[in-house]
Structure 1
């Protein structure tokens, strides 16, 4: 006699949400790198990807940042649904901060857009962009630290360690990059890459916690 099956819609939705945590980082970085390599005047050693929001074609990076932020926000909700509430809230805050940062572009920077010497005083938009970025990166770092605690409670001390290290790297990279300006650009890049790498791995780990949506019924 053939077995019947039931479909768990809640599990399917949660898995789908966590999938966006896998996609968000590669999407943001690949699109951002393509734009950076094709925009005149952009210097990886001096400019963050957010600088691409400025000048002709800036709408493309604005769209990239906003769409990626929505993906991260959805992944955060998925993490909450999967049982990692604290980490999920932190990730959701980071996603929301990305979307808010897309609304308020940064100020011009030395050399970008081409011919710019950089803003002498920060505009309201520049201040808000930096503020939302700060809130987002702190929340992202806290999310990684909290997820380390979640992993430890599940007996995964090795994974817990890497999650906590990722949280420290995100926080130190952002704070160092923000404090040092162009000289600390490497720290900002490290914070972004480490953060999205952590999100990808954390989403994959939680994906395994959620039951398969198709359940056989006797």
Structure 2
């Protein structure tokens, strides 16, 4: 595949995931997006749809990471940036391959509070999500440094803000989850985290694709042969 085609994969990955989740949120019988975390969509008779969404999105980001590597190296963020985006994609594949446990009353008959299952799949789903979060946060700051080296102040600030917001959202969601009284803030915060992080990764890929098309990365390659 050409570099541009690979970058397009990373660009469409975020919108694809968000659209797929939104459609399921309001069409899945018994599912309430205000109460149920999006990972619960992987359960039930139609759970294969969200599993496929996780895996497809992860593979698209992995392809986008290869495009980023081709476009950015040997310039700033050309090594670790793509590597971390690729790790993020693989984490999403893991989140799909290992579904979470039932909870918050979904599917029907599930415990009314946070999932209490300690199955291998549930544990590995949590590990996969942790990989997703850590790699995304690290990628934000790697790309922030790369944009700063190019003098792109707006993109530098954007990356720093997102990289700071993601762990704050995650910690707040975890605190609310431990309280266990009302699942609505927990569910909405996790959706906010996904919307923010996934959109950031696609927007950065889009920016790199446009820079490559305009020839703006040639100076980096000339300085770092």
What TM-score results when the alignment is normalised by the length of structure 1? 0.86
5+ unaligned residues in a row in structure 2: which ranges? 73-77, 178-182, 216-225
- The Cα offsets for residues 112-166 of structure 1, whole Å up to 9 and x where unpaired, read as 1123225433211101101110111110111111111100000011210011111
Gap change, CA 1:109 and 1:153, over 3 Å in 2? same
Following the alignment from structure 1 to structure 2, what is the Cα–Cα distance between the partners of residues 190 and 125? 24
Aligned to 1:136: 132
For residue 39 of structure 2, the aligned residue among 32, 35, 50 is 50
- The equivalences for 1:178-217 within 5 A come to 178-181=174-177, 182=183, 183-211=185-213
Once the two structures are TM-superposed, the CA of residue 61 in structure 1 deviates from its matched residue by 0.8
Once the two structures are TM-superposed, the CA of residue 195 in structure 1 deviates from its matched residue by 1.0
Following the alignment from structure 2 to structure 1, what is the Cα–Cα distance between the partners of residues 42 and 171? 22
Aligned to 1:8: none
Following the alignment from structure 1 to structure 2, what is the Cα–Cα distance between the partners of residues 172 and 78? 30
**Matched residue SS, 2:2:** helix
**Matched residue SS, 2:212:** coil
Following the alignment from structure 1 to structure 2, what is the Cα–Cα distance between the partners of residues 175 and 95? 22
For residue 64 of structure 2, the aligned residue among 75, 83, 88 is 75
Once the two structures are TM-superposed, the CA of residue 211 in structure 1 deviates from its matched residue by 4.6
Following the alignment from structure 1 to structure 2, what is the Cα–Cα distance between the partners of residues 144 and 192? 14
Residue 124 (1) aligns with residue 113 (2): no
5+ unaligned residues in a row in structure 1: which ranges? 1-11, 214-218
Once the two structures are TM-superposed, the CA of residue 208 in structure 1 deviates from its matched residue by 2.5
For residue 105 of structure 1, the aligned residue among 99, 103, 113 is 99
Larger radius of gyration between Structure 1 and Structure 2 = 1
Following the alignment from structure 1 to structure 2, what is the Cα–Cα distance between the partners of residues 184 and 101? 18
Give the aligned length: 202
Aligned to 1:63: 52
Q: Which runs of 4+ in 1 moved over 6 A?
A: none
Once the two structures are TM-superposed, the CA of residue 43 in structure 1 deviates from its matched residue by 1.9
Contact 2:141 2:160 in 1 (8 A): yes
Contact 1:90 1:142 in 2 (8 A): yes
Contact 1:169 1:190 in 2 (8 A): no
Contact 1:82 1:209 in 2 (8 A): no
RMSD: 1.8
